[in-house]
Amino acid sequence: MNTDRLASKVGLREEVAREIRFLILGVAVALLSVGAAIISSGIILDRFATLQRESAAAVSQGVLQALDLRAEAMLGIASEYANWDSAADFAEGKSPDFLEDELFDNTFLFNSVNAMLFFDRAGEFIGGRAMQPDGVLGPVPESLATAVGRSKSFLHPPRVESGSVGFVSANDEVFFVVCRTITASDLSGPHRGSLVVASRFDTEMMRKLEALTRVSMRITPITPGTGPASSDVVYSRLLGGSLLFVDGTDPVTNAPTAHALLKDVTGAHSILMDMVLPGRLRELAVTAENVLRFSTLGVAAIFIAYALFMVWELARRRRELTERVLEQEALAKAKEEAEQLAERATAADRAKSEFLAMMSHEVRTPLNAVLGFSELLFHGELSPEQRNHVETIQSSGKILLAVINDILDFSKIEAGKIQLQYEPLQVRQAVADVVRLFAHEAQSKHIELRTEFAADAPTQIVTDSTRFAQVLVNLLSNAVKFTSEGGVLVRVGRCHPAELAQHEIRAQEGSTFLRVSVHDSGVGIPEAERHKLFKTFTQLDSSTTRRFGGTGLGLAISRRLCQMMGGDIWLAGSDHGAEFVFAVRSNE
């Protein structure tokens, strides 16, 4: 009896001890889980903070790179006008009417700049023109000319080909300025002076930069000791490096903020740029911390509730549950990312289509009206001077319309919106119709325009007649445009398999390829410049746009169209002038 009781007590004690052990184990596991959650949350927050600083630094560098790209564009504009004989004469006082004759409203609007300032060789301001905030072209503000002229080192860059870049503050406005040395167009002789191109760093420019970088920013001229205390602190910390990142300093959004010091024309760090950066990583860190904390507390409560019954079983179930949650989260994340990508692609395609429709209607329609009324005005009673003005309007309008059509065609090709319409094409008639368009221009330039048909030339092919004519028009337009003496020869024949294979054009057995070449006796194309052909927005000479106009898209569009029609376009070897050849497949 006593033995049984003793055994019962021992059994009870062992059972109690076992339950106590389970309880202690459960509590220990719960405490360890809570401790792990606290440690993990600290690690996660620290890691997210590091990622946020790295991301902010990268975004801030992107903003500064955007400014560098803007500087390169402005230096390109400055080079175009600085390396000009007329500008060199003006800098030496030989061409007093240069500003009125060469700098117009469109000069500033097309290049998105606000002022051009000319200085003589001694660094003295000699004149310029500026686009005022109200859109009226007028003289350069005296405050701007004085501010730029303070730095002779800025006006005389150590390397002529690199130029100078900086900021300048005038009348509570900040301008982004670049400087190029004025030389003759052939870059010969000593420098004649300096050309400064200025762009007002106003709300419009910051809005463009914000759209490009998705970063809100502001520019503030700063002098240590004269601004708010916070500005002096940022200024002193920035002097130790090029960029400072401060977490959560924006008073409105509490988003991370970056600051950068920019140099003015004297080389002093007197311009402060504040950038409010996206704070998405911080929100993700807080969310991750909360999810981890509450998940761990829940698991700890489960351990305490079931510690006396199934500690080991609960651990197994917890592992299974964790794996399942991770898989579901991965699937949900992948699905969300796929949906976001699809939405972005749809939005981008819709925006592109809307842009094309808007450009077609909002730009070409009024431009056609301008051309139509100028044509009516031309046939009215006008003085010689007025008739000359109307002819200028007509030629400029036609050039602008051609530029817009090129850009729209290229955008449609890029978006895959062009559908070819295949139909029988009478080759002789189609070529003759296009050649006839340039007969008058060739006659006015006293150059010969001829057409030759080979004996094996196809009489008819099946292709898109409109796009075929567009390619031939573009090649003939360039040939006539750049030929001042001699002539232009159009040869039509059949493209043979050897030539197709040479230019990597796929040809099925029995297929027919029409070969058309346009050979001119113009200035030709140097070997070193041929790699630029068929590239978008590229012309061989920087003075070509100023002399002849154009976008540099014609050959790029022609190549895309030829490839869509099953062929290609290339530059053939020629001892004199240039010869372009294109081939299209007959889709019979």
Going across the sheet that includes 513-520, the strands are 448-453, 487-494, 513-520, 578-585, 568-572
Token pair recorded at residue 553: 């898209």
Q: Kindly report, residue by residue over 36-75, the tens digit of the pLDDT.
A: 666 666 666 666 667 766 776 777 777 778 888 888 888 8
Whole-angstrom CA distances from 121 to 156, 161, 522 are 9, 17, 39
- Which of 229-243, 357-371, 477-491 is least confident? 229-243
Q: What per-residue confidence (pLDDT) applies to 60? A: 73
In this predicted structure, the answer to whether residue 377 has a pLDDT above a threshold of 70 is: yes
Q: Kindly report, residue by residue over 493-537, the tens digit of the pLDDT.
A: 999 888 888 888 888 887 899 999 999 988 878 777 777 777 765
Rounded to an integer, the average pLDDT of 236-244 is: 57
At 173, which amino acid appears? E
Pair 221, 262: CB distance under 8 Å? no
Token pair recorded at residue 260: 């950068």
* The CATH number fitting domain 355-415, selected from 3.10.129.10, 3.40.50.2300, 1.10.287.130, 1.20.1740.10: 1.10.287.130
Token pair recorded at residue 3: 């033995």
Q: What per-residue confidence (pLDDT) applies to 117? A: 92
Q: What per-residue confidence (pLDDT) applies to 12? A: 46
In this predicted structure, the answer to whether residue 246 has a pLDDT above a threshold of 70 is: no
Beta strands in 192-325 (DSSP E): 193-200, 216-221, 243-246, 257-263, 269-276
Q: Coil, strand or helix: which one is 180? A: strand
Name the segment(s) of the chain with CATH classification 1.10.287.130: 355-415
Name the segment(s) of the chain with CATH classification 3.30.450.20: 83-207
Q: Which residues pair with 119 in a beta bridge?
A: 125, 194
Question: If pLDDT is split at 50, 70 and 90, which confidence band does 186 have?
Answer: confident
Q: What are phi and psi of 574, to 5 degrees?
A: -150, 135
CA angle 484, 487, 490 (to 5 degrees): 135
Q: What per-residue confidence (pLDDT) applies to 93? A: 86
Class for the domain spanning 423-585: alpha beta
Pair 452, 491: CB distance under 8 Å? yes
Token pair recorded at residue 91: 């800098």
**Where is pLDDT greater, at 338 or 116?**
116
For the chain, how many residues are written? 588
Q: Which residues pair with 181 in a beta bridge?
A: 194
Regarding pTM above 0.85, the answer is no
State the Cα–Cα distance between residues 570 and 579, nearest whole angstrom: 9
The alpha carbon of 354 is separated from its chain's Cα centroid by a whole number of angstroms, namely 19
Pair 33, 299: CB distance under 8 Å? yes
State the Cα–Cα distance between residues 439 and 419, nearest whole angstrom: 31
Return all residues near 315 (Cβ < 8 A) that are at least 6 apart. Answer: none
Return all residues near 322 (Cβ < 8 A) that are at least 6 apart. Answer: none
State the Cα–Cα distance between residues 287 and 294, nearest whole angstrom: 11
The DSSP output letter for 264 is B
The DSSP output letter for 268 is -
Q: What per-residue confidence (pLDDT) applies to 257? A: 75
Q: Which residues pair with 571 in a beta bridge?
A: 580
Class for the domain spanning 83-207: alpha beta
The DSSP output letter for 576 is S
In this predicted structure, the answer to whether residue 16 has a pLDDT above a threshold of 60 is: no
Name the segment(s) of the chain with CATH classification 3.30.565.10: 423-585
**Where is pLDDT greater, at 528 or 76?**
76
